[in-house]
Amino acid sequence: MDERRTTPHLDLPLHRLQVPLPHLLPFAIGSFDTIGPLSRAGFPHRHSFFEIVHVTGGRGAHVQDLVHRPLRPPQLCVIAPGQVHYWADAEGLTGRVVLFNEDFLLGHPQDLAALRSLAARPALPLGDRSGPIAALLADMEHEYRACEPGYPGVLRAGLHILVVRAMRAALPGAGGAAPGRSAELASAFTRLIAGPGPGWRSVASCAQELGVSPGHLQALVKQATGRTPGRLIRQQQTLEAKRLLACTDLTVRQVAREAGFGDPAYFCRFFRRETGMTPGEFRAGVGRNHHDPRIASIAAGPDAP
C-alpha cells in the first residue's frame, strides 16, 4: 500500500510521499483504495508533491485553494505542491491517483510548467477523452506493480503522455507545444515563490538564484505570463495569506509573518489593497467553510490568464 504521512505545518497538515519497497522512485499510482484513506482526505491539507486524480465516479466536491467545485466525473484534477485542497462530502469516489515528486520529472521541464498551469485551472472535464486516459493509467499501474526492467522510463513516458493529453483537454491544439526559454524561466520562477513555507524572496534574489539579471527575469516572465515577477510574488503572498486565514487558527500577526510581512499593519493594508477586504473580514466571510469563489491561483506558462 502506498501511504502519505502528515506533518504539522502551521496547523495545516503537510502530506509527504512515502512509497513502499520494492519501489525506490518518488512515484506511486493506484486507486483511491490502494493509495489509502488520505487520497480522499476531507480536511484541508497540502502536499510536498504533485497529485493527478482521474475521477471516474462519485459525488461531492473538490476544494482546491479555497475554490469549491462540485464533482462532475469523468474529470481530471491536478494538485501542485503547496496548494491547499480536500474532498468535501465526497462519496463513492472511483478512479486512479498518481503521486510524484518534482524531481521525478527533472528531465522534463515542459511537463513541470504544464502541470503548474493545469493546477491553476478548474478540474478538466474529459468527456470522450476519459477512456484513453483510463487505459493509459491502467497500463502505468501495471508497469508500476510489475517492476520489470526499464519500468522507470516507461512511467516517465506515460506521465508525459498524460500531461500532454491533459493540456489538450485544457487548451485544444496546445498539448504538444514545446515551451520556449520564457516559459521555462517563468516555471522555475514560480517554483521558487510557491509551496509551503516558501521563504519570501525579492525579484532581485530570485534573479540571482536563477542565474539571470533582474531585467532579463522581468522581460521573460512578463512575456510568458503577462504579469511581472513582482506582481506574481504579490499574488502568491495574497494566496498564502488567504490559505492560512481560511484553514488555520493563526492570528493575523502570525499570518502576516508567514506571508512575508514583518509589520502586521502593513500586511493589513497590503491585503486590503489586493482583495478589497481586511484579513478579519476575509476570515469572517469565508465562514470557516474553506472556500472563496473569488480566489484564483497563479499560473506559470504562456497560457496564464
Helix axes 229-247, 279-286, angle to 10 degrees: 50
Q: What average pLDDT does the chain have?
A: 83
Q: Residue range 155-184: average pLDDT?
A: 78
Q: How far, in Å, CA of 62 to CA of 280, rounded? A: 25
In whole angstroms, what is the distance from residue 140 CA to residue 46 CA?
25
Give 104-118 pLDDT, tens digit per residue: 887 777 788 789 889
**Do 200 and 163 contact (CB within 8 A), yes or no?**
no
Domains, the chain: 3-170 (2.60.120.280), 181-286 (1.10.10.60)
Proportion of the chain above pLDDT 90, given as a percent: 49
User: Rounded CA gap, 44 and 290, in Å?
Assistant: 8
Residue 42 has pLDDT above 70, yes or no: yes
Q: What is the pLDDT of residue 6?
A: 43
Residue 288 clears pLDDT 70, i.e. is over it: no
Question: Given this model, what pLDDT does residue 160 score?
Answer: 95
**What is the rounded average pLDDT of the residues 198-212?**
80
- Give CA separation, 288 vs 66, 170, 285, in Å: 10, 31, 8
- Burial of 94: CB neighbours in 10 Å, binned 0-12, 13-18, 19+: middle
Whole-number Cα distances in Å, 186 to 29, 202, 229, 301: 29, 15, 9, 6
Q: What is the DSSP letter of 55?
A: E
pLDDT value for 39 = 93
More confident residue, 210 or 39: 39
Question: What confidence tens digit (pLDDT) does each residue in 228-251 have?
Answer: 999 989 988 998 899 899 889 999
Q: What pLDDT is recorded for position 292?
A: 36
